[in-house]
Amino acid sequence: MARSFRIGNIGGVEVRAHPTVAIALLWVFWHWSRQAHDPYVGALFGGFLLLAIFVSVAGHELAHSFLARRYGLEVRDITLLPIGGVTRIEQFPLPPRREAMVALAGPVLNLVVAAGLTPVLLSALLWRGARSPLDLLLVARETSPSSLLLLVWLANVLLALFNLLPAFPMDGGRVLRAWLSWMSDRLVATRIAVSLGYLLALALLVAGIVLRDLMLPLLALFLLGAATVETRLIELEDAMRRLPVGQFAVWDMGGVGPDQELSYALRGGPRDVAVVSGGRVVGMLWREDILRNVRSGDNRLVREVMDPTVVTVDVDTSVYDAHQRMLASGHPSIPVVENGRYRGIFTADRLVHVYRYLQEGRRPRARYLVVAEALGLIGR
Ligand SMILES: [Zn+2]
């Protein structure tokens, strides 16, 4: 992934392309220039087709990314590959329902695109007099606008269907895992979905050998790699379930009192601060609220600005559960208490220390969930 190059930034998500995309481009030029009467028209057609497919893949990945970000996860980047795309999302698991929604967002986007193209495609085909499946095959081999429309429509339908296969690392595997974790342990649910992923990869490998097709084994390798990353992630998650949040919290003697002036909360720089009264957490001062009020000039009291909703975790709560609660609250910090008394604060920044700690113990290294999309149709 390291040598991929940046194409642009869409809505705050970096989109990159792997150098091997250039090989796919050359292949497409060569293939389609032989297909058409005029090689230049053919090459141009191939270029447009590849571009349209990459836009579909990028749209699929962005749909995952935007929804994941709305649920509070950090999205690192999207990389386009000749056989699909890879999105790196912060690895923390969401509640099953939300996880299923994020997984479904990609295929749903492709189905919406296909549905939008359908009336245009149907009119183009009717106008061309194409009525039977054989006519469709003939159109698909042309280098005409109808052919481009048909192939892009097909690419979106296949992207949606293939990615909905119920096996990791496909989106369908994530939906299956979410559904299974309603009924059993998440770890068991993941193992089942990952095993199905290995089976799918094996089936693709065998099909590739039988059909003498090079794309299928490549796809199988891609799936195997992603399934392995996923396995490492479950181990990481498992480790985080066993680490107490107290070990990684920033210890703090006291927080601020509700009757202190707001400027007092700015000691040590603007940050999320717990509001403590008689040793107990009574509210939170969020960084952005402090800054907004300080900028407005009038120095108010802490109690007027604080968020009185109190969500705390005990020192013995696992890092995993603490982060789940942070995600649910929509704030990057959570106060840590011991026997009900305020002890310190755990923030999203502290997660870096958790990862570092786990790495020192030579535990799993994967930090980002890799949403891998497989696309088996370029070059067909
Ligand atoms: Zn997807």
DSSP assignment of 317-352 equals SBHHHHHHHHHHHT-SEEEEEETTEEEEEEEGGGHH
Distance 85 CA to ligand 1 centre (A): 8
The arithmetic mean of pLDDT across residues 130-141, rounded, is 77
pTM of the model: 0.67
Cα 355 to the chain's mean position, in Å?
19
* Ligand 1 center from residue 81 Cα (angstroms): 14
Q: How close is the Cα of 102 to the center of ligand 1, in Å?
A: 9
Ranges of CATH 3.10.580.10 domains, the chain: 245-357
Higher pLDDT pick, 156 / 33: 156
For ligand 1, the distance from its centroid to the CA atom of residue 174, given in whole angstroms, is 10
Q: What is the pLDDT of residues 158-187, one digit of tens each?
A: 889 988 988 877 889 889 988 998 888 777
Amino acid at 225: G
What pLDDT is recorded for position 361? 60
> DSSP H helical segments within 79-144, as ranges?
96-128, 133-140
Is residue 60 a contact partner of residue 110, using CB atoms and an 8 Å limit? yes
Residue 268 C-alpha to ligand 1 middle, in angstroms? Answer: 43
Q: pLDDT (tens digit, 9 = 90+) per residue, 307-357? A: 888 889 999 999 888 888 887 787 888 999 999 899 888 988 787 777 777
Q: Ligand 1 centre from 302 Cα, in Å? A: 45
The CA 244 to ligand 1 mean position distance, Å, reads: 33
Distance 58 CA to ligand 1 centre (A): 10
CA 150, CA 146: separation in Å to the nearest integer? 6
Distance 89 CA to ligand 1 centre (A): 12
Cα-based torsion angle of the residue sequence 282, 285, 286, 287 in order, rounded to the nearest 10 degrees: -150
Residues 84, 314: Cα–Cα separation, whole Å: 43
Task: Label the pairing between strands 84-90 and 75-81.
Answer: antiparallel
Q: Which residue has the higher pLDDT, 84 or 55?
A: 55
The class that CATH gives domain 245-357 is: alpha beta
